[in-house]
Amino acid sequence: MNAPDRRLQFRSGQPLPGLWSKLVAAPFHRVLDRIDAGLKQGAIEAWLPDGSYRILGGRAPGPVAEVELKRWRALVRLGRNGSVGWYEAWADGDWSSPDPVTLFDLFMRNGRSLGRIARAKGVARLAKRLRHWLRDNSRSRARRNIASHYDLGNDFYAAWLDETMTYSSALFQEPIRPDEELAYAQLNKVRALLDRLQLKPDSHLLEIGCGWGTLADIAADEYGAAVTALTLSTEQQAHALALNRCNVAAGRVRIELMDYREVGGCFDAVASVEMVEAVGQRWWPTYLATIARVLRPGGRAALQYIAIDDELFEAYAASADFIQRYVFPGGMLVSERRFRALAEQAGLAWTDEHRFGLHYAETLRRWRERFDRAVAEAQLPPGFDRRFVDLWRYYLMYCEGGFRGGGIWVSQVTLVKEEVE
């Protein structure tokens, strides 16, 4: 990449800013200087409210994002409220980009060097942390947190998920090809997870967080397992019962509206797909202790989870980000180092971890395309206004950029309970 011209440039045909405009703009350019210094990879081409144009970064190859700041207050909101403020600025038209995914990729890719530039600070950070704490996933609160996201209605999710109704990362063939069907890659993910469990006919499988029931259906039909599947979503339970109706009638599958902390019995295996993100850091030991408690000695648990770079975790956990505020109340990505240590303390050996973060980026890209098509064709059920639709589109772009940037990833891992001597 050629060295960028860091001199201020102004749009052709616009008058140069006067003294007052320069004075107003000066502190905001200092904020941009800090962002510029923190971009070790890639660049931002920025068009600014004073009519100027700047290139930030550009020192090493990487994504190049285009951003138009329409109001300086976008930077005020970013500085005070981090990703929450940046979303609110976008929603209010303070900034725009032809491709926000590239910008989110860039910020995640440079997360360590940018430090706290895009994190909430001071009173705003404490307020967000308090709000997040009040949404803690206690037994009394967890069901409300789940309902606020998953009980938006099965018709809503059916409008843009694939026919498997699977709302977690797919596992594509590598190299990832645009012609591979999303549904095929989702089923590949489910089977890859179930293969880790070494199920036999009549093995008893516990699924913690069963979604809309696809994994339970495959485990019973293709692996011959008896399945007890847990969810806190009434919408998901209704769909899962309908999907698994034959196996439910035969006593092979049970779909229970139950908190994982309440489950009893002994199981040969446990499966849990992207459930731990809804548990919260405070409850990681309880979640892992539950798995250890219900597994027979030598039993296996297969988890799929989303992790964040351990170097970013403390700053992330010290506040509440855009997703925790607007999309997943009570949510928390995993610090792999911390979570693994807790698993091993619970007597669960951590084995055969497989990361596939770019597969989640591709999954999210497909979901966004399908979501946009559902909106354009008026396929969403009534009751979702434009601001809600824009929020969800932003959420899908935000997550896709995060996975492309590499600071977050998705993994499958097998946990094996120690044998009794």
Q: What CATH number has the domain bearing residue 400?
A: 3.40.50.150
* Domains contained in the chain, number: 2
Please report whether residue 128 resides in a domain: no
Please report whether residue 229 resides in a domain: yes
Domain range enclosing 174 = 139-417
Known catalytic residues are 399
Whether residue 331 contacts residue 280, with contact meaning beta carbons closer than 8 Å, is answered with yes
Reported as a single tens digit per residue, the pLDDT across 254-307 is 999 999 999 999 999 999 999 999 999 999 999 999 999 999 999 999 999 999
Question: Phi-psi region for residue 171, left (φ > 0), alpha (ψ -120 to 50) or beta?
Answer: beta
User: Could you tell me which residues come within 8 angstroms of residue 382 by beta carbon, excluding any fewer than 6 positions away?
Assistant: none
Please report whether residue 3 resides in a domain: no
328 against 14, higher pLDDT = 328
Q: Hey, what are 412's tokens? A: 């499958």
Do residues 164 and 309 both lie within one domain?
yes
- Domain limit, last residue, from 96, 123, 150: 123
Please report whether residue 381 resides in a domain: yes
Do residues 155 and 199 both lie within one domain?
yes
What number is the average pLDDT over the span 118-132?
58
Please report whether residue 178 resides in a domain: yes
Please report whether residue 206 resides in a domain: yes
How far is residue 224's CA from residue 212's CA, in Å, rounded to a whole number?
Answer: 19
Do residues 103 and 196 both lie within one domain?
no
Share the mean pLDDT of the chain.
92
β-bridge mates for residue 301, sequence order:
270, 415
What secondary structure letter does DSSP report for 268? E
Do residues 96 and 161 both lie within one domain?
no
Do residues 117 and 150 both lie within one domain?
no
| E strands, 324-393, in order | 334-335, 348-355
Please report whether residue 361 resides in a domain: yes
Give the CA count within 13 Å in the CB-facing half-sphere of 38. Answer: 19
Do residues 258 and 226 both lie within one domain?
yes
The band of 148, judged by pLDDT with boundaries at 50, 70 and 90, is confident
Do residues 210 and 256 both lie within one domain?
yes
Do residues 116 and 171 both lie within one domain?
no
Do residues 267 and 174 both lie within one domain?
yes
Please report whether residue 368 resides in a domain: yes
Do residues 105 and 162 both lie within one domain?
no
- Domain limit, last residue, from 123, 152, 167: 123
Which is it for strands 204-208 and 267-273: parallel, antiparallel or unpaired?
A: parallel
Do residues 291 and 400 both lie within one domain?
yes
Reported as a single tens digit per residue, the pLDDT across 158-183 is 999 999 999 999 999 999 999 999 99
pLDDT at 400: 98
Q: Hey, what are 26's tokens? A: 């000066």
Q: What angle do CA 278, 281, 287 make, to 5 degrees?
A: 70
Reported as a single tens digit per residue, the pLDDT across 294-328 is 999 999 999 999 999 999 999 999 888 999 999 99
- Domain limit, last residue, from 123, 155, 190: 123
Do residues 161 and 76 both lie within one domain?
no
How far is residue 366's CA from residue 181's CA, in Å, rounded to a whole number?
Answer: 10
